[in-house]
Amino acid sequence: PFQVVGGKVKKPGKRGRKPAKIDLKAKLERSRQSARECRARKKLRYQYLEELVSSRERAICALREELEMYKQWCMAMDQGKIPSEIKALLTGEEQGKAQQNSAKLAKAGKTEANSSSP
């Protein structure tokens, strides 16, 4: 009844563990629970994806509006008109540069004054 192969004793019959007698009702209940959990995960995944799509669509709309504004500005500048928004940006930048330069000069003056005092 036993075979000896490579120094090991082999028993006839199926290999591996024998399937335990599983209660059919318990197995069905586990299957139902698993299906419920799967549906819940799927629902959450779809909600997340729908929110993602809607946020991307809002971003696209905002970018299209911004692009349209820039097109209008370019058309106005082609006609020799400078839009007030661009004037504000330019004057704001010039004021910012002037403030930065004055701050740099003030710092340079302080360091020169400190270095010449000793």
49-94 pLDDT, tens digit each: 999 999 999 999 999 999 999 999 999 999 988 888 888 888 887 7
Whole-number pLDDT of residue 20: 62
Q: Assign 118 a pLDDT band (cuts: 50, 70, 90).
A: very low
Residue 97 has pLDDT above 70, yes or no: yes
How do the residues of the chain divide into helix, strand and coil, expressed in percent and rounded to 5? 75, 5, 20
Domain boundaries, the chain: 24-89
